[in-house]
Structure 1
Amino acid sequence: MKKVLILPLLVFCLMSCGSEKKEEKAINYPKKTSLKQTDPKLKESINRGELVYNDLCITCHMANGKGAPKAFPPLANSDYLRDNQVASIKGIKNGMSGEIIVNGETYNSVMAPLGLSDDEVADVMNYINNSWGNNYGKMITSQEVTKVIKK
């Protein structure tokens, strides 16, 4: 009689071990996140800035942000962008001309004013400051763009 009871119990145990409903014992730690992923306002601004970039900037500065050698400067890993945020904001808002040196290369092209609002300038700055490996500074707001433009 004991053997008869042990056999169903053994079968039940074996079937339970193969069950698809296993208890998860591992602790799920969050992945390391960048500022882009943790600040929803910055993420929204970057998304809007990408639309502006793809509409107006991509032709010269390319999808990868590397620009065109000797003609249009790179934005990806750009020392000029990193070190000249105010001049970059003014350039996006008002256009720019004259010599600039980016990553040791001299550029002397003309960037026409794009007719962007201060909100759009802030968004595209946030996009380029946080794309292609760039991590240049804090979130730029339209209020900061307005202050820069009025100087």
Structure 2
Amino acid sequence: MKFSNIQIFSLAILFLVSCNEKQKKEKTIKRTQSETEFKSNPLKESVARGRLVYNDFCITCHMASGEGVANVFPPIANSDYLKNNQLQSLKGIKFGQKGEIIVNGKTYNGAMAALGLDDDEVADVMNYINNSWGNKYGNLITEEEVAKIEK
């Protein structure tokens, strides 16, 4: 069986085109997988929702950068209290908090009213606080974990 130059050339073009299509398909699959992984990141999604909650309920006292108000409202940015007392901090967000606490070596003796947040909002705002202003505290806090917290 003898092939003409045109047939050989046609087969070569067909081969190159099919290889190129395979590469495009593989790139599309990889891109789609990485986009899906990014979009389905529960912590990032919770932090984004928590920012909205923070801006609605917390920013007035704890300020936009989490530094608080000296001697009145404690900082939550780089806060040793927040880092070392995650459960107490969650209780404070969920139920309110009063009494003396020590944050970064300074004593605060005020009150934070209960904000009336749902458990999912408490989890989201805590995830935002734990992952903002240089804070890197703990793992993802879920609505289910918050629901189990009692006064």
Tell me which interval the TM-score lies in, with the shorter structure as reference length: 0.7 to 0.9
Q: Does 1:100 align with 2:98?
A: no
AA partner of residue 82 (structure 2): L
- State how far apart, in whole Å, the 2-side matches of 1:110 and 1:104 are: 18
**After TM superposition, where is structure 1 displaced by more than 4 Å over at least 4 residues in a row?**
none
Secondary structure, in 3 states, of the residue corresponding to 1:116? coil
Aligned to 1:142: 143
Secondary structure, in 3 states, of the residue corresponding to 1:99? strand
| Higher strand fraction (1 or 2) | 2
Give the root-mean-square deviation of aligned CA atoms. 1.4
Q: Give 1:146 shift.
A: 1.1
Aligned to 1:90: 91
Aligned to 1:25: none
Distance 1:44 1:102, change over 3 A: same
Q: Give 1:147 shift.
A: 1.4
TM-score under structure 1 length normalisation:
0.73
Aligned to 1:61: 62
TM-score under structure 2 length normalisation:
0.73
Aligned to 1:76: 77
Structure 2 residue runs of 5 or longer lacking an equivalent are 1-37
AA partner of residue 92 (structure 2): G
Structure 1 residue runs of 5 or longer lacking an equivalent are 1-36
- Percent identity over the alignment? 68
Q: Give 1:39 shift.
A: 6.7
Aligned to 1:4: none
AA partner of residue 107 (structure 1): Y
Aligned to 1:111: 112
- State how far apart, in whole Å, the 1-side matches of 2:86 and 2:131 are: 13
